[in-house]
Chain A
Amino acid sequence: MYSIGLIYFLLILITSVCAGMLGAMAGLGGGILIVPFLTALLNVNVDYAIGASIIAVIATSSGSAYAYVKEKVSNIRIGTFLVLFTVPGAIIGAVIEGFTQPKYLFLVFGLVMFISIFAMYKKIKEKENLDPVVVDDKLADKLKLHSKYYDARLKREIKYKVQRVKEGSLVMFFAGIASGLLGIGSGAFNVLGLDMIMKLPIKVSTTTSNFMIGITAAASAGIYFLRGDVDPFIAAPVAIGVLIGAVGGARILLKINSNTVRVIFLAILFAMGVDMIIKGIGGI
């Protein structure tokens, strides 16, 4: 039971526009914004909030991936290859969820996030190296993952070589497990793996992650829907809002500076880290 009027409806819509916009730029689903907003401020049942958040992930992915795929910023081949690891990871995570102590897991992953924030922050301070030294990766050659994209901000084409595909795949597998286990999207870990391990340009990392999260989320969305966790009254404004936000966010990302993308991503990562540490300490 919940009590909602037009104002609540509009509030959900506006928040979802923001979540969609940020999610589209940072390569994640925006659940970190939507779930606390719905549960803490609007008193929505947590199951419905998570159900709506899963729909938000798919909407972010489809809404932004359209522009990213068209402009060839997201690397479809990398995305498709890595989904091969996130989806089974998510399945395993969901299956073992019942046997684990989420309290400690939240602490561990929260800590991982804070370590990543420091590592990535160092990258912001360094001057962007557009033509970095690369280590050859045979698997990346075989899968033809190397590519290039046109950076509208720098007004030049940026070529990149994908590195450490095996290690990246392993990270994606654990990203999937974390996602299934903790009920969070895999987007944040995807971006970390793509950026820090596989050394993709940050815009390619977040947009490729965007391409991936829709597929990973769709795997669980069907289950949530059939279970009755997708309440149309909440999911409708969330879906519409996120779609509008994601389409807009995608347009912005193409034009802004790479470091701005990193700052947005880090801000969201910080919020997620704090959220997870609190959950870990609280033992929810």
Chain B
Amino acid sequence: MNVNIKEEERIEAKVLSSFLKWSVIVSAMVITAGIVILITLCSTGYGSSNICLLLGQIKGTNVFPVSVLSVFSGILQEKSFAIIQLGILFLIASPFIRVLLQTGIYVKEKDKLFTLISTVVFIFLIVSIILPTLIKM
């Protein structure tokens, strides 16, 4: 029994740590790609807000995509700010996926208590995103 628990914990640690590693690498690469495009093209991709980093201080405006849809449409047009935002979105999404992944591991381990706990945590996360929008309405 004891040996089993150790083995399960080992798998959990392995799966989670490799997920964390890859989520960090992917978001860092996407954000870096966005920065490189921003520097080389001298353009955020959003109207007048052109920023030439290498030319010193140039005024920027706060025009950037703030919805998932606008991020994706911006990427299709190779807008540097949209690419950076995609990397940021990957970063924000990774804890959500992390909790889902944990739930999957607990289900597989037949750990009912922690399956329940991680499911409730995931529900809380969804509520925390939806609730402020509801209250504002």
Count B interface residues, CB 8 Å: 62
Cβ of B20 and Cβ of A65 under 8 Å apart?
Answer: yes
* Complex: A58 Cα to B93 Cα, angstroms: 10
Residues of A within 8 A of B99 (CB): 80, 215
For B125, the closest partner residue in chain A by CB is A219
Q: List chain B residues, Cβ under 8 A from A69.
A: 13, 16-17, 20
Whether B28 sits at the interface, judged by CB under 8 Å, is yes
Q: Residue A133 at the B interface, CB < 8 A?
A: no
**In the bound complex, do residue A9 and residue B114 qualify as a contact, i.e. CB atoms below 8 Å apart?**
no
**Which chain A residue has the least Cβ–Cβ distance from B95?**
A218
Determine whether A276 belongs to the interface, using a CB cutoff of 8 Å to chain B: no
State the CA gap A65–B12 with chains docked (Å).
13
Query: 1/0 contact trace for A61-83 toward B, CB 8 Å?
Result: 11101110110100011001101
Q: How far is the CB of A127 from chain B (nearest CB, A)?
A: 31
For chain A, the bracket of interface size reads: 35 or more
Q: Are A215 and B121 in contact (CB under 8 A)?
A: yes
> Does B77 belong to the interface (CB within 8 Å)?
no
Interface: A181 (CB within 8 A): no
User: Provided the pairs A63-B24, A84-B124, A236-B84 are in contact, do residues A76 and B102 lie with their beta carbons within 8 angstroms?
Assistant: yes
- 28 pairs, A vs B, C-beta closer than 8 Å: A4-B51, A6-B54, A7-B56, A58-B91, A58-B92, A70-B17, A72-B9, A76-B13, A84-B121, A87-B125, A142-B113, A143-B113, A215-B98, A217-B95, A218-B93, A218-B94, A218-B95, A222-B129, A223-B128, A223-B133, A232-B64, A232-B81, A232-B84, A233-B60, A235-B84, A236-B34, A236-B87, A239-B28
